[in-house]
Amino acid sequence: MIREWEDRDLPALMTIWNQVVSAGRFFPDKELLDLDGMRRMTERQVFTGVAEEDGRVQGLYILHPNGIGRCAHVANCGYMVAGDARGRGIGRQLVCHSLAKAGELGFAGVQFNAVVASNTGAIALYESLGFRRLGTVPGGYLTDAGPEDMHIYFHATEQNGSADSGVSTVLGDDAASGACAPSTARA
């Protein structure tokens, strides 16, 4: 089940956040958060979703505008799944929920600015859901081992019952497709 975060989730969210950030592999933040920092970060989002299973927080996503002003109509999201919960489809649930939530909130689409090239599980998931790779920034992500390429992805959302936000003319007619139906791809 995916739901909006609550205060009681903060310790689990902080643990997952810090686990992913400290790994340094696929998420750009460097600073670990304490409970107050986690609360502030969560409150700054337009929406924070929590994946809960059997009363335990398994993952989270954050949703906010990708830019300011004339770019604020496109959302950006970040996803994190607890290490012991990976491979069970929680990432897919989080991404699908975020696409629906972004559309519900009036965003024209979801853009990822920094999908690390070696994050093959996420790439397979995003592409299975209809995200389009728009380009690659050579060496745009710094790992402990050195620079790595990062990709930019986009997916249009359904807003007010319409999947066409004008983006399909740029990306092709199926840019808004890629339904969140069950699939064998897992993240």
pTM of the model: 0.84
pLDDT tens per residue, the chain (187 residues)? 999 999 999 999 999 999 999 887 888 888 899 999 999 999 999 999 999 998 999 999 999 999 999 999 999 999 999 988 888 899 999 999 999 999 999 999 999 999 999 999 999 999 999 999 999 999 999 988 899 999 999 999 986 444 443 333 333 333 334 457 543 333 3
155 Cβ contact partners less than 8 Å away, ≥ 6 residues apart: 99, 109, 110, 126, 129, 130, 131, 132, 175, 176, 178
Q: Check the CA dihedral 78-8-16-43 and report its sign.
A: positive
Contacts of 133 (CB under 8 A, 6+ apart): 127, 151, 152, 153
- 3 by DSSP, 3-state: which? strand
Q: What pLDDT is recorded for position 99?
A: 96
Q: Judge whether 157 and 108 are in contact, CB under 8 Å.
A: yes
pLDDT of 177: 40
- Per-residue pLDDT, 38: 95
pLDDT score of 139: 96
- Tell me, what's the pLDDT at 179? 58
